[in-house]
A = this chain, B = another copy of it.
Amino acid sequence: MRARAICSDLDEPDLAALRRLGRRVSLAAGQTVMWEGDDSTVVANVIAGTLKLSTSTGGGREQIVGVIYASDFIGRPFGARTPHSVTALTDAHLCLFPRSAFDHFARDHGALQHRLLRRTLDDLDRTRGWLLLLGRKNAQEKMATFLLDVSRRLQLDRTGRFELPLSRQQIADILGLTIETVSRQMSEMKRLALIAVEGRRGIRILDREKLACLAEGH
């Protein structure tokens, strides 16, 4: 699991030094760690749990701009402001670093900085892919894309079922839709036997092929 983390290339002494900078923090689902616009004072590694990154318009409309899984990195190194809020979707554990200490450490450790760069480049690619979804896909395409994306990121249990880490409203906030539209799309896909819905959060993908077609708009 540490293999994905940014500290995975550090040797043992450096790793120990980094650990001394950080402290473990537990979060309950719903707790917000950082607020959009605040000073950027801390960064963190996610040990366990799922979190969301979000921004809002003046009028209170929210858009989720990223979903963070275990071994991901959060916060804004080398910057004065936190560009978006970070909120736990499930209970979570973080390894929290003061930003300035982390920044210094990173400057002195090329391997860490390199990891961070690669991760940031990947995030940027993924986020730009999301622009296509928000700007040019319709509700059905969005929903299909989302379900495939989540099923790829989460480990399924042996029966192919997985738990959405998000409520319908949060899915809507990711896809730029309303909760009603999300619900209608899920019902429609259930009706078409593309997915099975088990309880509020359980999903089983029945026809990955067709779902992928819908995601591309065919």
Contacts and interface: CB of A to CB of B under 8 A. Distances in A.
A155 B16 CA distance: 49
Contact of A57 (B53, B78, B122, B216): B216
A110 B77 CA distance: 16
| Chain A residues touching B, range | 35 or more
Q: Determine how many copies of this chain the complex contains.
A: 2
Contacts of A77: 121
A122 B78 CA distance: 10
Interface stretch (A21-29, A91-99, A131-139, A198-206): A131-139
Contact of A135 (B63, B114, B118, B141): B63
Contact of A117 (B65, B113, B130, B134): B113
Nearest to A118: B78
B78 A121 contact: yes
Contacts of A55: 128-129, 131-132
Contact of A217 (B58, B79, B135, B141): B58
Interface of A: 53, 55-59, 61-63, 65-66, 76-79, 83-84, 107, 110, 113-114, 116-118, 120-125, 127-132, 134-137, 141, 173, 175-176, 216-218
